[in-house]
Amino acid sequence: MGMKVATSSMKAYPLPMSPLRLAALLALTCVSALAEDVPTQMTTRGKELYHEDFTKPLAKYTGKPNGYASGFEGWLIHGTGPESRGGQWKQVDGRFQGSENPQVKHPATASYGIKFQNIILQCQLRLEDVELDKDPAHGRKYRYIQLRATNERSYLCSLNLNQGGFQINKDDNDRDGPDKLEVLATHKKALALGEWHTVLIEIMGDEYVATVDGHTISGQHAAIGQLKQSFMVVTGPEGSIRDLHLWEAKPNADWPMTRAVIAAQNKPMAPAKPVEKK
């Protein structure tokens, strides 16, 4: 009896995917996930001003820096040089990783010089899971990352993330002078170490809105309305940033209503009244 010939009715099974093709597909999926825009609250996205995936060496800044705050454009990496007290930065697999200087407990700081008034910033941040118990000289016990905007002379406002949550600050702009740091809004939420957290910052006029992993807080202060000269990434003992985007911020007509919703969601609950014993 002759061998039966397979017909078109035979069920077809997909061929195994080659390792190279699978790796390329996974990489494309990762890039697509990173590129997804987080919904804005106070503003709408205008022209894209900058995008950095940290896969190529960062070009050196241009201009003459006035310290860390102003006078330059592009990336100014602080702490470079053998005698520097600052922390260090390196690019690893598409992320920009900062490590604190353990001898002087100085954080890693890097600034991107760009003049802006109203802006949308989106990125992903990770508090690195440094094993401090095994290496106590590495840095501080608590991990943190700050995204700080500056005016011509110093810090202006910032979003601060740590293991216990995140907050918006009006920063101390004159260090030893009369100006003081003011906390404008806080959200208590455990931020896991070693995991990426998606961050969206919106600045419009004197208002500041921050969304971290879908949780939104907002704050307002006259100082925020100043012309900004740069933004800084500050981290200790170790943290990373990736997939950074900047857009022009345009007004959102729904903001007054959205502002009220955010305020209601973040309003502290009144303490429960003690139960009277009979």
User: What is the structure's pLDDT at 134?
Assistant: 55
Q: Quick one: tokens of 164?
A: 């216990």
Read off the pLDDT band of 17 (50, 70, 90). very low
Peptide bond into 268 cis (omega under 30): no
Domain-by-domain residue ranges, the chain? 55-265
Residues 6 or more apart from 192 whose CB is under 8 A from it?
A: 127
**Mind listing the pLDDT tens digit for each residue in 199-227?**
999 999 999 999 999 999 999 999 999 99
User: What is the structure's pLDDT at 241?
Assistant: 98
Task: Give me the mean pLDDT over the 160-165 stretch.
Answer: 96
Residue 25 has pLDDT above 50, yes or no: no
Q: What sign does the dihedral 55-39-231-98 (CA atoms) show? A: negative
pTM greater than the 0.95 cutoff? no
Range list of H helices, the chain: 19-35, 255-265
Assigned CATH for 55-265: 2.60.120.560
End-to-end Cα, the chain, rounded Å: 97
Cα of 75 vs its chain's centroid, Å: 16
